[in-house]
Structure 1
Amino acid sequence: MTARFFSRIPGVAALATVLLLLPVDSSAQARGKILHGFSGERDGMNPAGRLVGDGSGNLYGASTQGTQYGGGIVFELSPIPPDGWTGRVLYTFKNFDDGGYVWGLVRDQAGNLYGMTDGGSNRGTVFKVSPGNPGQEWTKTTLYEFCPLGYGTCTDGDQPLSHLTFDSQGNLYGTTPLGGDLSCQLNPGGGCGVVFKLTPSPNGMWTQTVLHAFSGKDGFSPWNTGLIFDSGGNLYGATTEGADLSCPVPSGDGCGLVFELSPENDGSWTETVLHVFHGDERGSVPLGDLVFDSAGKLYGTTLEGGDLSCSANPSYGCGIVFQLSPEPDGKWTEQVLHTFTGPDGVFPVGELTFDPSGNLYGVAEGGGYEQCPYNPSYHGCGTVFELVQNPLGLPRARVLRFNGKDGTYPQSGVVLDAAGNLYGTAWAGGPHGGGVVYEVYAPDFPAAEDR
């Protein structure tokens, strides 16, 4: 049967702990709560991917590790009026062959959940978990296993660490950071990553097609970076490395780029590099999904670059939020919307989220509260930030900071409900040290700061 991993009774500590996110302006009051603190036991630990909601207010996610088997779980959190939540384990990964280390889910209209694992009998899997009888554990189906012959033969992709995207026909799209072109100069024999498509057939089998294999110059390692579609059926994404090999990063493997893949009439796909990062004040190492606004502009974050004097990462920078705007000649122009300096965050990761007013929300995995007992090298436990529309110039930042007791090291962006509540996960910290699912009420951010 499915396991319930915390109480249904509002007020129990694991359910309704007051979230201690600290505003930059310490005089401001911020509300929020921990919906669940992971213990590493049957509920797993270290949630990483973005949460997924349904039309009934339920949240779905995964923990990457923990349980007696070590592979983590797929879970559901459900609201109980007026302010309680209950949770249950939908699926527990049983062993290495079964998979594990899930980095995000996507949900279809029938309520099935899809994701990728970094485990499995070979070099990663794509899976589906489906509801069964009431009260029973969901059923997992492996849709695809990468690299069946093992390392050195992974032309189809290797070690997926991102989430999947559906198109309107029910096909799945994703990336792997390795595999593909085994002659790639930046990772000979291992490959520089791929973009792939999975197509379902009436008999339940899925067929994988590599749409693009990166070669280094055109990108390397789309790690924790998913894909998005535009209205014309083109795909957009980013690679964390590759392109400008002269940029100042310790690996020497490039500072990353933003790309577009366009379908051709013969079934092939063509890559266009939209923007290359150079490791300067305009960003380096994009990490996380891109997002479109209503005008067709792209938004994202880079892990490094920006303020190269940032004390948490001197010479390399603490990251930026950027905008890419299409021009009539087909080129894209970058604008830096926000540069992180430490108190407002260090190393932004994951996806950005728009609210109906055009404000942006995201997370940084470090920075914020300097006295954080976790991540001393990251100068804090991380932040949740809002960039507020400013008609007079660049967006203004409003920031809430983790302190460890309420979580630390968030690895994915937040989701926003119709009431203005933000939901997210933090990798570690919390009441049991294994990470948390948290809620923040967006209007409770402190006053914005002009930058």
Structure 2
Amino acid sequence: MRKKTAMFHALGATTAAALFALFAMDTASADSLKVLHNFSGKDGLAPTGMIEASDGNFYGATTSGGDQSGCLPPDGCGTLFRMDMSGQLQRLHVFHKTDGYYPSGLVEGPDGKLYGVTREGGQKGGGGGGVLFSLSPTGADFKIDHRFVGGDTCCDGARPQPGMVLAGDGKFYGTTELGGDYRDNDHPGFGTVFRFDPATGKIKFIHSFQLADGNGIFPNGYVIQAKDGFIYGTTREGGSAGGGTLWKIKTDGTGFAVVTQLPNLETHSGPIQGADGNFYGTDDIGNGSVYKVDQSGNLTFVNRFDSSDGKGLFFPVTQLSDGFLYGTTEEGGLRDPQGGDVFRLSTGGKIRILHSFDSNADSERGYIPNAKLILGTDGKLYGTTALGGKKRLGTIFRIDADDLGAVKTVSAPARIKSGHSAQGRVTLFKPAPAGGVVVNLNAGFGAASVPATVTVAEGQTSAKFRIDTMQIGAEATIRLYGSVNGQGLRTQFVVTP
């Protein structure tokens, strides 16, 4: 069964923060994250990410909010908005059942218009399998280009997914979670891949997923066109190896193939293709992971998350020119287990937390980030949170990818014998100011323990701390974090018998 992401939990959940546990490690807000907009309800709530269009403005959607009367979701059907670099936001469109609800995934078309989908709605009675829509950047000329009906009519799709891609042929490619040429009379289809031509307004379904063939079912959003010209995407489950799949298909609908099975993984978004030609994706099983599939189809893990570095990955990572992968987790982090974080990850697996959200002490800067990060033309990263902010209804934020925080390194011996002690060290980027710098330490609850904090004295750049280990019968790998104000990094060492 599909897990609901936080943006859908957020619907009608303005009091959800009261359920979150207190876990703040510190209360200072010293990093570069800046809230550009606080949603109020009328302009939307629970935003779902943005794009920066060719006019230099940001365009996005909220899953709820807008007109709260006469809509199936209790907090409104959702909105579309435009925001400039300074954070000035204008509502462009309000949804009302018959034109869809749960909007997401705007893409700029070759004609300068904005295209997107809604997950549900679109029919006269308010039901329906979602719509594909377009509008001008001013909000005028809103048009429903296709109303999805899914299993009601073979072989249409239902529940279109966010993240259509504009391919080199000038057409959009996307997926629907349900619908298609279904051969199981007990199920309304297992999803489709579609092609939409903005020049003609016509849609064509070029592939239907089937449960019986082991190629995967319930395709995710955020498909891409890779360097080889194929469209690539993932399915959430239904693969022959007991998980989802990474698949590809030609733009004419031929050549469908499974690149690799994703055993025991549950993906909620498609891959990206890195500068090295490999594919990188995320999944949500356990605490979640970032995985890599090389060009031969071999699957490896870049990072398996442990909650301290985040939990719950529902959106693609973004690779910048520095080669690092940047992304968000909806939960976990170094300050609040319910807050989520923004992370930077090398393709070799080294992680740094750029910001840890806090639903308690720092809730006005938002929490539960719920969208793919985008790189603005100003070189900053932009994203959204489902909850928090001054109105507690979500935010748009900007963060500097170069802001690495205070801690430069945290180190320990590569191997420590169980039952013995060793010495670790934290190093800062610059000398500590008056009063020193308190660094938070965390080694989890395994075979090693460290003090909760260590202080780097005024004028110094490093400090030592003690690592104690317990007696164990088998090797154990320990992850050690050092952080200040929710920004930090990880190293690891092995405790040996």
TM-score normalized by the length of structure 2? 0.70
Q: Identify the residue that residue 13 of structure 1 maps to in structure 2.
A: none
Taking the aligned partners of 1:47 and 1:396, their CA distance within structure 2 comes to: 27
Taking the aligned partners of 2:327 and 2:24, their CA distance within structure 1 comes to: 15
Instruction: Tell me if 1:326 matches 2:323.
Output: no
Taking the aligned partners of 1:268 and 1:355, their CA distance within structure 2 comes to: 31
Deviations 1:20-66 (A, max 9, x none): xx99999994122111111212x011112x31003454211011111
Structure 2: runs of 5+ lacking an equivalent = 1-22, 69-75, 408-488, 493-497
Residue number among 198, 209, 216 corresponding to 1:219 in the alignment: 216
Does the 8 Å contact 1:102/1:161 carry over to 2? no
Taking the aligned partners of 1:396 and 1:98, their CA distance within structure 2 comes to: 42
Does the 8 Å contact 1:244/1:277 carry over to 2? no
Q: Identify the residue that residue 78 of structure 1 maps to in structure 2.
A: 84
Residue number among 188, 191, 194 corresponding to 1:190 in the alignment: 188
Taking the aligned partners of 2:343 and 2:197, their CA distance within structure 1 comes to: 37
Letter in 2 for 1:71: C
Taking the aligned partners of 1:152 and 1:112, their CA distance within structure 2 comes to: 30
Query: Following superposition of structure 1 onto structure 2, how do residues 198-217 of structure 1 map, counting pairs within 5 Å?
Result: 198-201=196-199, 205-216=200-211, 217=214
Q: Identify the residue that residue 432 of structure 1 maps to in structure 2.
A: 391
CA-CA distance at 1:294 after TM superposition? 2.5
Query: Following superposition of structure 1 onto structure 2, how do residues 32-431 of structure 1 map, counting pairs within 5 Å?
Result: 32-41=33-42, 43-48=43-48, 50-69=49-68, 70-79=76-85, 84-93=86-95, 95-117=96-118, 118-121=120-123, 122-131=128-137, 137-147=139-149, 151-184=151-184, 188-201=186-199, 205-216=200-211, 217-223=214-220, 225-244=221-240, 247=242, 255-263=243-251, 267-279=252-264, 284-304=265-285, 317-327=286-296, 332-368=297-333, 371=336, 379-388=337-346, 393-404=348-359, 405=363, 406-431=365-390
Structure 1 moving runs of 4+ over 6 Å: 22-28
Change over 3 Å in CA distance of 1:88–1:214 after alignment to 2: same
Deviations 1:293-336 (A, max 9, x none): 223111111111xxxxxxxxxxxx21111111113xxxx11221
Does the 8 Å contact 1:350/1:363 carry over to 2? yes
CA-CA distance at 1:343 after TM superposition? 1.3
CA-CA distance at 1:398 after TM superposition? 2.8
CA-CA distance at 1:397 after TM superposition? 3.0
Taking the aligned partners of 2:26 and 2:291, their CA distance within structure 1 comes to: 25
Does the 8 Å contact 2:216/2:240 carry over to 1? no
Q: Percent identity?
A: 30
CA-CA distance at 1:243 after TM superposition? 0.8
Q: Point out which structure has higher relative CO (alpha carbons under 8 A, 6+ apart).
A: 1
Taking the aligned partners of 2:50 and 2:137, their CA distance within structure 1 comes to: 18
Taking the aligned partners of 2:46 and 2:312, their CA distance within structure 1 comes to: 18
CA-CA distance at 1:189 after TM superposition? 2.9
Q: Identify the residue that residue 309 of structure 1 maps to in structure 2.
A: none
TM-score normalized by the length of structure 1? 0.76
Higher strand share: 2
Does the 8 Å contact 2:335/2:357 carry over to 1? no
Taking the aligned partners of 2:53 and 2:198, their CA distance within structure 1 comes to: 23
Letter in 2 for 1:293: G
CA-CA distance at 1:171 after TM superposition? 1.1
CA-CA distance at 1:370 after TM superposition? 5.9
Change over 3 Å in CA distance of 1:211–1:425 after alignment to 2: same
Letter in 1 for 2:351: R
Taking the aligned partners of 2:388 and 2:349, their CA distance within structure 1 comes to: 33
Does the 8 Å contact 2:272/2:281 carry over to 1? yes
Letter in 2 for 1:416: L
Change over 3 Å in CA distance of 1:366–1:101 after alignment to 2: same
Structure 1: runs of 5+ lacking an equivalent = 1-21, 248-254, 305-316, 372-378
The DSSP-based 3-state class of the residue aligned with 1:97 is helix
Letter in 2 for 1:242: G
The structure that has the greater radius of gyration is 2
Does the 8 Å contact 2:62/2:79 carry over to 1? yes
